[in-house]
Amino acid sequence: MITTYDISKTFYDSKRGEIHAVCPTSIAIRKSEIFGLLGPNGAGKTTLLRMLSTVLSPTTGTATINSLNLLKNQEQIKKNIGFLSGNTRLYGRLSPRELLDYFGALYEISPQQIKIRTTKIFDMLDMWEFVDQRIEKLSTGQTQKTSVARTILHDPPIYILDEPTLGLDILTGRTIIQFIRDSAAQGKTILFSTHYMEEAEMLCDRIALMHQGEILDIDTLDNLKIKKNKYHLADVFMAFIKEAP
């Protein structure tokens, strides 16, 4: 569903000079897979996800998203993905229900379809309790659920989620994790980033370990553990970093 071909991003900063945020990267993510990008702060996760979401153009390389060329079919790609970023915009004066009705109309989804979609989303994300409250009065977790809901309203086949559980308590985090699992079971392809080892362990079919712009390895959790003869993913990660050039 997502294939990247030596995609990379270099930023130029007057103070720091050239920053290789993402070194040439080739990954292939299958349909219905839960694929995790795991890496510490500054690893390049957000930059990679922003490129794949057409928000940022690559310095080199390209990708195909659901067989669409990243450099040529950006408008179509946007219909195929739901991208959750740290700064998804919501309108504080609206309630989650009003917000989704508004974006549904923008996407030209019929009112009946919006009703069906939002009912399903409110169930999956356990949102009913607050769907009619103003967004500006919601808690962090409730706001994040609303952002996720807005991200997937148009029912895209691919979800690209940048740190979807960042700053959430364990209950809300678990709801999001279960939501990701259920979505994959329903056929969605999920690419998400995290720096929580535990989350990657619980959720991912395959994990890409990312550090300083480089993908150190991509494999299943079990294979990664076997390769480094370690039990905990954190130890596996450290073993890879020590060997990195």
Using CB under 5 A as the criterion, which residues of the chain lie in contact with Mg ion when the complex forms?
Answer: 45-46
Question: Which positions touch ligand ATP (CB under 6 A)?
Answer: 11, 13, 19, 21, 39, 41-47, 195
Q: Which residue, 45 or 117, is less far from Mg ion as judged by CB?
A: 45
Q: Which residue, 101 or 162, is less far from ligand ATP as judged by CB?
A: 162
Q: Which residue, 47 or 146, is less far from ligand ATP as judged by CB?
A: 47
13 binds, among ligand ATP, Mg ion, none (CB under 5 to 8 A by kind): ligand ATP
Residues counted in the chain = 245
- Residue 240 CB, shortest distance to ligand ATP, in Å, is 16
- Residue 201 CB, shortest distance to ligand ATP, in Å, is 18
Q: Which residue, 124 or 176, is less far from Mg ion as judged by CB?
A: 176
Question: Of 185, 180, 183, 182, which Cα lies nearest the Cα of 165?
Answer: 180
Distances (CA, A) of 220 to 35, 227, 229: 9, 11, 14
Looking at residue 245, the DSSP 8-state letter turns out to be -
138 binds, among ligand ATP, Mg ion, none (CB under 5 to 8 A by kind): none
E-strand ranges in 68-184 read 68-69, 81-84, 158-162
Hey, is 194 helix, strand or coil?
strand
**Kind plus residue range of the DSSP H or E element containing 74:** helix 74-80
